Amino acid sequence: MGNEFEQLEIIADFINTHDERMRYEGDPGLELLSTADDLRTWLLKNGFILKQDAVSEEDLALARNLRGGLRAAIPNNIHDHKEAGFQALNRAAGRFRFAYSFSEASDAIEPVDAQGRGGLARLLILVFRLRENNVWNRLRVCTAADCQWVFVDRSRPGTGKWCSMKACGNRAKNKTYRERAKSMG
């Protein structure tokens, strides 16, 4: 499962390009895909496009829609509405075209689109494969309301709640302890 965890890390990194961790009350988060060039850099860094491929503003808008749908489709995500997520994910996925090829040795699905849109389609194929292989459920959104960082749950039982036990988990447990101590006396 090691390689699949690495692939999930790529998906988590893409979703976290909108960093929703709260730095102050009402913080809208940080948008790391502010321009088409930001998206191009991310796609290139992760091997979804080639150096000569261009990324348009339309690709950027599609990437943001895809990112929102992916985030809301994460299992056990208490911060985003799941049904809306699958609807958003399906709407975004419907904007891509794929070609299928079958042979004795293996079958393949490839994007018909090129450039930035083709790179996003490759990302979507990766998501499809991870869901098909039943590892998508290892993707989590930190349950801390002021964090909401997307992470890969590498714990043996796969029941992680926090992106970091040292930070978010410790704060949650201390809060629970203080509330219990306060109610007892």
Q: Is residue 156 part of a domain?
A: no
Looking at the structure of the chain, the number of domains it has is: 1
Is 66 within a domain?
yes
Rounded CA-CA distance 129/141 in Å is 20
The answer to whether residue 154 is domain-embedded is no
Q: Is residue 169 included in any domain, yes or no?
A: no
Structural domain includes residue 25: yes
Is 84 among the domain residues?
A: yes
Looking at the domain assignment, is residue 148 inside a domain? Answer: no
- The answer to the question of residue 159 being in a domain is no
Query: What domain range is 95 assigned to?
Result: 2-138
153, 139 in Cβ contact below 8 A? yes
Calculate mean pLDDT across residues 124-141: 94
- pLDDT value of residue 13: 97
Q: What digits encode the pLDDT tens for the residues 12-69?
A: 999 999 987 766 677 677 899 999 999 999 999 999 999 999 999 999 999 999 999 9
pTM of this structure: 0.84
